Structure 1
Amino acid sequence: MSHSTTASIQLIVNCLSPEFAPDLLESLNTEAWEDMAVTAIALGLAPLLHWRLTQADVTPPPLAMAKLAVTRQAHTKRNEAIGQQLTELLAAFARQKIDVLVLKGALLAAAAYPEAALRPMNDIDLLFRVEDLPRVGPVLESLGYRGKHKSAEQGPGITKHLSTYRREGRQGDTPNPYLSAGGERMIEPHGSLEESWFGLKVDITPGVWTRAVPVSLGGQPAYRLSTSDMMLHLTVHAAFHVIMGASVFVQLYDIGRVIETWPAELNWPEIISLTRQAEAQAFVFAGLYWAKTLYGAAIPETSLAALEKECSPDLAAYIRGLDAPGIFKRTQHPPLTTVPQRLRRGLLDRQEAARWAGSLGEKWQIWQTALAFHKTDTANLLKKGLKAHG
Structure 2
Amino acid sequence: MEQGLGSATSIVAARDSKVAWRAELQLLVACARPTASPETAERIRALAQEPMEWPYVLALAGEHGVRPLLYRSLHCICPDIVPEAVLKDLLDFVRSDVAHNLSQNVELLRLLEGLKARGIAAIPFKGGVLASWAYADPALRESGDIDIVVRKRDLREAVAFLATHGYRRRTTEPHDAIEDTNDEQLGRYLRFDSTDGLASVDLQTSLEAPHFAFALDSDELWDRAVSRTFAGQTVLSFCAEDLLILLCVHGTKDVWFKLKWICDIAEFIGSDRGFNWDQVLYRATHLRAKRKLLLGCLLAHDLLGADAPERILAHVRQEPTVRAAAETIIKKYSLPNRRFTDAERAALYFRTDDPLGRTSRILRYGRRSLKVIVVPSDNDRRCLSLPNWLSPAYYLVRPIRLMAKFGRSPRLAVQAVRDLFERLD
C-alpha contact 2:151 2:217 (8 A) present in aligned 1: no
CA distance in 1, matches of 2:186, 2:293: 20
Cα offset, 1:136, TM superposition: 0.8
CA RMSD across the alignment: 3.7
2:193, 2:308 → 1: CA distance?
Answer: 38
Paired residue for 1:166?
Answer: 193
Structure 1: runs of 5 or more not aligned: 171-182, 335-344, 379-390
| Aligned ranges 1:68-147 → 2 under 5 Å | 68-147=90-169
Report the more deviating stretch, 96-105 or 359-368: 359-368
Check if 1:214 corresponds to 2:249.
no
1:316-367 CA distance string (max 9 Å, x none) = 3413424745335498339xxxxxxxxxx44444444444455685786799
Structure 2 counterpart SS, 1:299? coil
Structure 1 counterpart of 2:76, from 36, 55, 61: 55
Distance in 2 between residues matched to 1:159 and 1:267, nearest whole Å: 36
> Does residue 295 of structure 1 match 2:304?
yes
Offset of residue 214 of structure 1: 0.5
Q: C-alpha separation between the residues in 1 aligned to 2:305 and 2:194?
A: 39
1:65 equivalent in alignment to 2:107:
no
* Structure-1 residue corresponding to 2:269: 259
Matched AA of 1:208: L
Residue 375 of structure 1 deviates from its aligned partner by 5.5
Contact 1:10 1:325 in 2 (8 A): no
Q: Decide whether the 8 Å contact of 1:87 with 1:219 is kept in 2.
A: no
Greater relative CO (CA pairs within 8 A, separation 6+): 2
CA contact under 8 A between 1:151 and 1:162: conserved in structure 2?
Answer: no
Deviations 1:225-278 (A, max 9, x none): 111001101112112221xxx6321011001222245x2431110010011112
In structure 2, relative to structure 1, the CA distance for the partners of 1:329 and 1:226 (3 Å cut) is farther
**Partner-residue secondary structure (3-state), 2:307:** coil
Q: Is the 8 A contact 2:205 2:216 kept in 1?
A: no
Q: For residues 5-32 of structure 1, give each alpha carbon's deviation from its aligned partner in whole angstroms, at most 9, with x where no partner exists.
A: 7221122212235435333324615634
Distance, in Å, in 1 between the alignment partners of 2:350 and 2:114 is 42
Between the aligned partners of 1:111 and 1:74, the Cα distance in structure 2 is 21
Distance in 2 (CA, whole Å) between partners of 1:231 and 1:247 is 18
Of residues 54, 57, 75, the one that matches 1:36 is: 57
- Partners in 2 of 1:143 and 1:288 — Cα distance? 39
Instruction: Please state whether the residue corresponding to 2:332 is helix, strand or coil.
Output: helix
Matched residues, number:
345
- Deviation, structure 1 residue 164: 1.8
Displacement, 1:65?
1.3
Aligned to 2:24: 8
Query: Equivalences for 1:235-246 in 2 at 5 Å?
Result: 235-242=248-255
Is residue 76–residue 117 contact of structure 1 (8 Å, CA) maintained in 2? yes
Structure-1 residue corresponding to 2:416? 374
Change (3 A) 1:205 1:93: closer
Contact 2:298 2:313 in 1 (8 A): yes
Q: CA offset at residue 56 of structure 1?
A: 3.4
Mapped partners of 1:68, 1:216: distance in 2: 30
2:203 counterpart residue number: 189
Contact in 2 for aligned 1:282/1:308 (Cα 8 Å): no
Where 1:214 maps in the other structure, the secondary structure is: strand
2:288 maps to 279
Distance 1:158 1:72 in 2: 38
Paired with 2:153 and 2:252, the residues of 1 have a C-alpha distance of 29
Q: Which residue of 2 aligns with 1:225?
A: 238
1:277 and 1:190 map into 2 onto residues whose CA distance is 22
CA distance in 2, matches of 1:298, 1:73: 30
- Residue 321 and residue 191 in structure 1: after superposition, are their counterparts in 2 closer, same or farther (change >3 A)? closer
Matched, 1:332 2:338: yes
| 1:218–1:91 CA distance, 2 compared to 1 (3 A) | farther
2:247 and 2:88 map into 1 onto residues whose CA distance is: 32
Q: Structure 1's 366 and 53: CA in aligned 2 closer, same or farther, altered over 3 A? A: farther
With over 3 angstroms needed to count, the CA separation of the structure-2 counterparts of 1:169 and 1:365, relative to structure 1, is farther
Aligned with 1:305 (options 292, 302, 314): 314
Displacement after TM superposition at 1:75 (Å): 1.1
**Separation of aligned partners in 2, 1:349 and 1:209:** 29
